[in-house]
Structure 1
Amino acid sequence: MEDEVILLNFWLSPYGMRVRIALEEKGIKYENRVEDFSNKSSLLLQMNPIHKKIPVVIHNGKPICESLVTIEYIDEVWNHQSPLLPSDPYQRSQARFWANYIDTKIYVHGCHQILEN
């Protein structure tokens, strides 16, 4: 039986893009469902009731939320192909550091600057 993977996403989202890249890199077949932020689907609200935002991966009916958490999940579940993180613990910590840096310093800071202008 093949896994059912659905990605709730928005095409411009850098966080959704990150998850799409991970799924593609692993060669995982998935259904991409584009969300409308002004009219969120009942599926999105059901699968991510806390934050009510994308991306959400639904794997065999179970939701995985937050892009970095989702990427780690993808790497652990489909661990037999194309590892996303280095095997060395130190190198893995460095990759996680830079992913967090991009999230907190570039995306967040950049978004605030755009909104202020």
Structure 2
Amino acid sequence: MAEEVKLYRTWSSRYSLRVVWALNIKHIQYETIHEDLKNKSPHLLHYNPVHKKVPVLIHNGKPICESLIILEYIDETWKNNPLLPQHPLGRAQSRFWARFSDDKLMPSIMSSYYSKGKEQEESVVQALDNLKLIEEQLNGKKFFGGDNIGFLDIVLGWLAHLPSLFAEITGLKLINAEKFPVLSEWVHNFYNHPAILDHWPPHDKMITKYRPVLNPIET
């Protein structure tokens, strides 16, 4: 009997993209259900009554919510092309830096683009400090997972897209080869990986989405 795998997502959600990438790396066939978060479907509200948001993975009728939890579920359910390290220490470290990404790095980068004045200046400093910590974790590797894309690469995958998109709109570039040569190389490798490249949201559509809410930097 074929497995039922469905993914409730939006077209632009960076959290949903994590699940898309993981399913693609694992070569899992699935059905995509696109949600309008301004008019959430009864199914989404049924499957995720607590947070009422995407992504939600449905596996044989059972919902799994929250992107980091979904990634671990996928890795534990489908054993091919493992995402998390096999050693307990490596798994713990990947989980730690994943939380760092969502709790520290992402907010500091978002604030760098959404805030103004002194708050923005402070956010940029914090974002650059956080990016330095992330670059150190690569430690000369092609990917955070080594030679292949792993759990932490997927969690940090938004770094290969949103900062450059926001820089195009605002002129503020946080990641460049001079400041972060190792991370910049990772951005190139991740963005263009065959399992990743065809799953980015449309560039022009993303520009249209974010341009009205981002304030260009005066020059």
Distance 2:61 2:83 in 1: 24
State how many pairs are aligned.
116
Aligned to 2:55: 55
Distance 1:75 1:104 in 2: 22
Report which of the two structures shows the higher radius of gyration computed on alpha carbons: 2
Task: After the TM superposition, list the runs of 4 or more consecutive aligned residues in structure 1 that deviate by more than 2 angstroms.
Answer: 106-117
Look up the equivalent residue of 2:109 and give its one-letter code: G
Look up the equivalent residue of 2:82 and give its one-letter code: P
Distance 1:114 1:35 in 2: 26
By relative contact order (CA 8 Å, sep 6+), the higher-ranking structure is 1
Stretch deviating more after TM superposition (58-67 or 105-114) = 105-114
Cα distance, 1:73 vs structure 2? 0.6
Distance 2:49 2:110 in 1: 24
- Structure 2: segments with no counterpart, 5+ residues: 117-219
Identity of aligned residues (%): 51
Cα distance, 1:14 vs structure 2? 1.1
Cα distance, 1:57 vs structure 2? 0.2
Q: What TM-score, normalized by structure 2, do the two folds share? A: 0.50
Structure 1, residues 18-66: CA drift from partner, whole Å, max 9, x if none?
Answer: 1111111111101111110110011100000000000000111110000
Aligned to 1:64: 64
Between Structure 1 and Structure 2, the one with more strand by share is 1
Q: 1:40 to 1:112 in 2, by over 3 A?
A: farther
Give the secondary-structure state (helix, strand or coil) at the position aligned to 1:36: coil
Q: What TM-score, normalized by structure 1, do the two folds share? A: 0.91
Aligned to 1:101: 100
Distance 2:108 2:41 in 1: 28
The yes-or-no answer on 1:35 pairing with 2:35 is yes
Look up the equivalent residue of 1:27 and give its one-letter code: H
Look up the equivalent residue of 1:61 and give its one-letter code: G
Cα distance, 1:96 vs structure 2? 1.1
Distance 1:44 1:111 in 2: 27
Cα distance, 1:109 vs structure 2? 3.4
Cα distance, 1:113 vs structure 2? 4.7
The yes-or-no answer on 1:87 pairing with 2:86 is yes
Cα distance, 1:99 vs structure 2? 1.2
Alpha-carbon RMSD across the aligned residues, in angstroms, is 1.4
Distance 2:78 2:16 in 1: 19
Aligned to 2:126: none
Between Structure 1 and Structure 2, the one with more helix by share is 2
